[in-house]
Each structure stands twice: as structure tokens, then as C-alpha cells.
Copies of this chain bind each other. A is one copy, B any other.
């Protein structure tokens, strides 16, 4: 077609459909100021949103707008409609769950990631995405003392990493027969069992369900008085299952359980796994970060016996969600478990990694960039100072609990999380204490000054104090303790 004919038609959409470059620049600078104001003022918000169910939804129209609004109007609605419904994970008095870390360098990196907006599914779709991911996961492996031969990949969450590990176990055990013919089609599919402790994260059960293994084939191994896996019980359960004709395929150990940061003994578990040829996965979602400290490297004693391992820089290493670092002793099993090669994804690039074969999702954000920027910005020493700071604060908090006869510690507190309850004068039965501590936790959270969450340990309602927010200083932990003491005194 001659060029003149092509040029007859005007552009169908002029560039005016989009915000102009100048408008974007002005709005983006304004958003930066909004972000800075947010960080400066975050302590003025109640940590946990005080809105009631349905309140935010009621302020958003049923119908989408037919025509575009100005960005000013949207920012105004952000403040008016959305912000009252935000629970402030970046508030320095956020002590709930485990933290969702972020940091100034991580936010800056996320800005760049969103501008580049590349899809890192294949090497060719952004070589830097792939190669930087390999490189920074190598950095992380060195930082926490993983074997140099292991290969890493960024998953979205530790839940997905657990699922990947269970699928690897299933496929290695069945010689990839379940992938090929399904459970119903293979002699070796059998009745598979997976072992993990009664303190393990719910994602292990979820993964076993997704993988077709089933909840009742997840063997819940009892824990000792420290909430760490009882390895003798593990061994007996595996042997009993073998005796019954079951097929044990995997054991999942936890370094830093969600309830109390209990630490399963990796070496003896790994030895049992080797003996019985089980896939050995380690879920160190929170606590892996602590192994960056030389004085906490013992957390990983025996890690070299594992087949796969996962920890979340997005929890306690200054990196925005989502960023879960997963490692495999033999990444070929992972790749073979997930690899599919349709024509439209075939490339000529040889000898490169295509990370889409390393997990569930095909598309992938350029998540390595924020890890690179965070590690470059803080350096290993800066990250160590940061982690030590939280651990020291948590230890100090535990000391206060310990010295106050109206409170008791309910679990060891090796890291940044302290499990405790109010016990009044020590004379009340557990059921009354459970109710009282629930009331106490609600009272703390209702003040809006802190946000803590709970768990149950040995049937006792347990308040958890997880110190891991990026901006938490000593004064925030002190204020929490004062508030807890004051509200507990009111209960008595």
C-alpha cells in the first residue's frame, strides 16, 4: 500500500486520550509529596482501620464512570473514601501477624518497575529481569548461608513456594507420572502422605489439597514444649504409614512458625527425610532473614539436607510484597514439574533461564529490581543492624513481660515475636483467661494506637507481639507496653 494512502487517515486516537507527559510529570511529583506526607503522618492514623463492614463499599458508586475524572478528583477521593479503610501496615506500631516490609529504596524501585512494566516470563522478554533475579538470589543465598549450588527463583508468596515443593515431591516420587497421567493413571501414584508439624503454616495443608493429596494425608506431627517438631514422632509416623502401605513423599519443616517463631530441628528432620527418600522443604518465610546475622546462622543448621527452601524478603527484609525467595537443591525437578512449551512461547535463546517454568504463573513482574535496590542501598551490614534492632526490641519487651507478675510468656522468643498473656493474680482458670485476653487484645486494637494479633498455644489464647515494622523504634515498643499494662489493669 502506498504511503500516501496510509497517511490519508488521521490518527484514530490522538495522544490526548492519555494524560500528557507534562500532566503525568506534575501528577507524579504530587503523588511523591502525598507519599512523603503519608510517611510523615502515618502515626496519626489508627493502626487498624476503624471502619465498619460495608462502609467503604457504600462510598463507591455501583456504576463505573462513563467519562474520565480529573486526577485531582481521584486524589481527593483517595483521601476521603479509601484512606479511612486502610489498615496501616507501615505504621511503626503495627505489631500484628508478621510485617509486610517496605522501605524507601524498595518504594523507589517499585516506581521504576511500574514504569518499565516488563513481563519477565522468558529470558528474551527481559534478559535483565531474568539475569538480575539469578544474581540477587545468589546474593541472598550467600547472605543466609545456603549451599552455593542451589538455584533460586522469586515466587509471589511462601504459600506458592510450599505448593511448588509439594508438587515437586509428588512428581519426583511418581517419576512424573501424576503430571502425565494423573493420580488415577499411575501405579506409583499410590496414597501419598506429607508430614509437617502442628505449628506449620496453613499453606502446607492448602498445597496438599491443591496437589490432589488431600487434607487427611497431611500428617500433623506433634511438637515439643518449645513448639518445635518432635522428630521421634515424625519417624514413627512415617514408619507406621509405610507399614500401612502409604507412600510418604515429603516433610515440611518450619524455621520460625507463624504462631510463635518456633524452630524445627532441621538436621534430624533432614536425616529422616534422606533415610526415607522424602522431599524435604523448609518454610522459613519470616525467620530466614534472621540467618543474615552470624549469631543466628544456627537457625539453618542442617539446611544443606533440604531439597527446597523458602523465605520472604517481603516480610522482614525491607522489600515490598510480593517477593518470596525459593531455592531448590535440584531445580530440574521444579522445571520439569512446570515446563510446558507452546509454539507461541518458543525462543531461540539457548542456555538461558525461562522463569515461567519455575512456578504456577506465566507472567512475572520485574521483582528482582527491588531486591537489588534494597541490598545495594542497605548493604549486608545495614540489613543486619536492622534485624538486630527488631530482635533486641522484642527481647527487651519479653523481659518486661517476664518481670511483671500480671503477665506470662507462653513460648520461647528466639527472634522478633513474643507470645504472652495477662494472668491477673495467677488464680484464674484458662477459660476465663482466654476470654479476658481476647478482651484485652480488642481493647488494645480499639485504641488505634497499636495493632497486635493472637494465636492459640496449647489451648491458651495468646497475644502475639511481632516487632518487625520498618520504622518501629524503641519508643513504639515502650508505648505498646504502657498501653497493654494500662488496659490490663482496667480488666482486673
Contacts and interface: CB of A to CB of B under 8 A. Distances in A.
Contacts of A101: 117
- A90, A183, A337, A471 — most chain B CB neighbours (10 Å): A183
Nearest to A68: B379
Interface in A370-403: 372-373, 375-382, 385-386, 388-389, 392-393, 396, 399-400, 403
Given A49-B126, A376-B74, A191 B182 contact: yes
Interface stretch (A80-88, A226-234, A274-282, A299-307): A80-88
Contacts of A337: 209
A38 B102 contact: no
A68 B131 contact: no
A374 to B, nearest CB: 10
Nearest to A345: B202
A-B pairs, 6 with minimum CB distance: A212-B212, A182-B214, A85-B128, A183-B183, A64-B139, A110-B114
Number of copies: 2
A234 B31 CA distance: 52
A179 B314 CA distance: 29
Given A1-B403, A60-B372, A179-B209, 13 more contacts: A15-B471, A28-B111, A34-B115, A53-B123, A85-B127, A86-B127, A101-B117, A184-B190, A201-B342, A203-B362, A206-B338, A211-B211, A322-B363
B116 A86 contact: yes
A258 B344 contact: yes
Nearest to A365: B321
Assign chain A's interface to a size class.
35 or more
**Interface SS of chain A:** helix
A343 interface: yes
Interface in A163-177: 163, 167, 170
Contacts of A119: 89, 97, 100, 321
A183 B36 CA distance: 53
A216 B251 CA distance: 29
11 contacts: A18-B471, A19-B377, A25-B33, A57-B134, A68-B377, A85-B126, A87-B118, A102-B117, A202-B362, A206-B338, A321-B365
A443 interface: no
A103 interface: yes
B376 A68 contact: yes
Interface stretch (A264-272, A424-432, A450-458): A450-458
Contacts of A388: 12-13
A482 interface: yes
B321 A117 contact: yes
Contacts of A393: 12
A262 to B, nearest CB: 13
Interface string A208-223: 1111111111000000
A383 to B, nearest CB: 9
Interface string A401-443: 0011000000000000000000000000000000000000010
Contacts of A320: 114, 117
A143 B369 CA distance: 35
A361 B78 contact: no
Nearest to A352: B53
B182 A216 contact: yes
A341 B7 CA distance: 62
Contact of A210 (B167, B377, B478): B167
A90 B24 CA distance: 15
A344 B454 contact: yes
A329 interface: no
Interface string A442-480: 100000000001111000000010000011011100100
A170 B184 CA distance: 13
A185 B206 contact: no
A80 to B, nearest CB: 12
- A102, A104, A143, A403 — most chain B CB neighbours (10 Å): A104
A295 interface: no
